[in-house]
Structure 1
Amino acid sequence: MKQNSYIQNILHYFSQLDWDRLYFYLKEEYAYQDTSKEIFLSKVKKIFQAHIQMGDTELILTKGQCKSKICDNCGKSGYRFIGNNSRNYIDLIFETSGDDITDIYDCSDFSTKTDSGKLERNYHIFIEKDEAITFNKSPEYWAKVNSANMAYDELISNPPKEIDYEGLSYWVEKYTFTNKTIGRFSVFNPKMKWSHFSELYDDLYKFKSYIDLYGSRFNIENTNLEQITTEEDLINWVIGTETLYEQVPFGINIEKENENYYALDKIIILVGDRLSHVSKFHLDHSSHREQLIKKYYSYTKQEEREIYSRENEADNHNEIWKLSFHLENRKKSKELGVEIPFFLD
């Protein structure tokens, strides 16, 4: 019986989602997607886990090549690996020499020789700047990484930790220097091993500033809401607090489960009166605004599509989610003799 070649074995381990054998047999002496075998395969492992969670028991191989005209890898051969249940997939280029694999890397513009059939999500492998083998990991670099990890782990855990306003303020103040040393977070910065901290710090610093700016208004608005008995008063309350609601920092997602208020996608629990007032206001405003907008929405689906297709209507893309916008739109239509029905959406 003819023995499988090294390349055939590696492809088989990929297709069988066999990360352990892949780790054992893939050679150490080569860099894969400009990073080490360990880092590259850690990314592969996460993709394998995602496939398994979607019910995949194997990946179907389809041969192909890079077809990008602006890529140095154009024409290089590889494989599309498709989940047998999910139809999620990843495209990988394999560089070989004889029966040796010298490199494997993700391809974002891949063409197969045969029809792949219906496909779903396209997985990708991303190598961050400081994961590249050419990156110089100096003592200064590691000092930043260690400081960032210590600060992050102090606040974030599983299960989530509880934090009140005083604890939030203390953490932000305590790690001001760490954040300054690393550099302010920006989505345009390359991701590094400290990015999880700098993004968290940026979100919580802005959240604290937001709370400080509006002071006790959250509690006042919560009290005002409790006294409302008519829809007209509710409409006035929602419109009057739209700006307050929309000023919350982009990264802060507040939600409630049982008796707990969560922020930042459930990674911390907000406790104490001050943070509870903020949480309650946001959840109540969001709920009432959503219900009122459903009733008073002033565009048909076709009109909505037309607005989103016109670049010069960019301002309306944000306005369309405001209750005040739709009420004004209805008022103008009524003045023109056009009565817009309720619950258009």
Structure 2
Amino acid sequence: MERDNIISGRILDDMTDGVIAIDLSGTIITFNPAAARILGIAEQEALSKSFGEVFLLAEDNDDFNQTILDAIYESSTSHNRIVPFSHNDKRTILALTTTFLKAEDGSGQRMGVINSLLSGSSAAATLLAQTEFYIFPMHNVDGVIAGNYRSTPKSENLEVMWYLDAATPINLRADVPQEIAVIHQYAKRLMSDGGPPVAIALNLHASNSEPDIRTFFYPHFGTTAQGYTAPQAALWDTQIRFINLLAARYSADLLEPAPDNGGSGFANSPFPESWWWANFQDTVMAMTIEMTYGRSGFAPRWVTPDDTRQLGAALLWAIGDYCSGASPAKTARTAADSISGRQLLYPAWYPPNAADELKY
């Protein structure tokens, strides 16, 4: 690791292009010599300082600052812009390329699951003896490499392209992206190979949400008293039970309240859960869990990779509890228990009904 850091440091030092990296707290963590030369700002004046302290107070650099902010608040897209920049009477025209580098696909959660499974503990051994785990480390590989956390290089959102074959919904249409076709064939084989069928299908995600939005779920349907059918209510019950089991293993205070009614919109939508429901109804507890960045219940500090791995470990043990038929010792909060009408801090930057954030 030290050798890699030395090599990457030398590459940054020798580059003719300026490179600035800003962490999630807004602190400048990389400011290479080329950036210092191009912008006319000494490296020691920028490194370890906040972006706002170094750049936002200067006049005449609105286009530059907006491009950097767009990299954060429109993080599904890389930005390429020609902008002016002024510092100490020096005016420069910059060609900016910005990328927001983060693990959209819940990789921290998966590492927590995998590390706990391979820990060698007696609890892990017991769980492995009773349960099979199939983990897909990353779905949108090409997109992540290209710097698009949500979409592929072809601007495809793989999360909403599970197009069912109208005649035989166990199959997908021939025009689905290859990434989906591969996972679909694997899932289909697991349900028909003569072995134990899949009981849980969790879609591990991460969401570009407001700083204090905590990890949350997308449960489906609701109770029979709310007008749902018995199979729909059965799926709802199993999902709420799993959320409660995770709350007992993780912390109810680190999860967003579960809704009072999950709705049925997903059933006619091209999501992974839609395929599981269309073919296996409530026999498979399929649901999305969205880990969030920012503070996520850990305020005033920010979420760390260790936090996401701990969430993954809690998920693992909650899966074991679910498969063993355990009842949760305590329950997650519900929307009815929480204060309604959360006051959003940045509604313009994180629109609550933005199409790229709403799953349903």
Indicate the TM-score class for this superposition, using the shorter chain for normalisation. under 0.3
User: Which one scores higher on RCO, CA 8 angstroms, separation ≥ 6?
Assistant: 2
Tell me which structure has the larger Cα radius of gyration: 1
With normalisation by structure 1, the TM-score equals 0.22
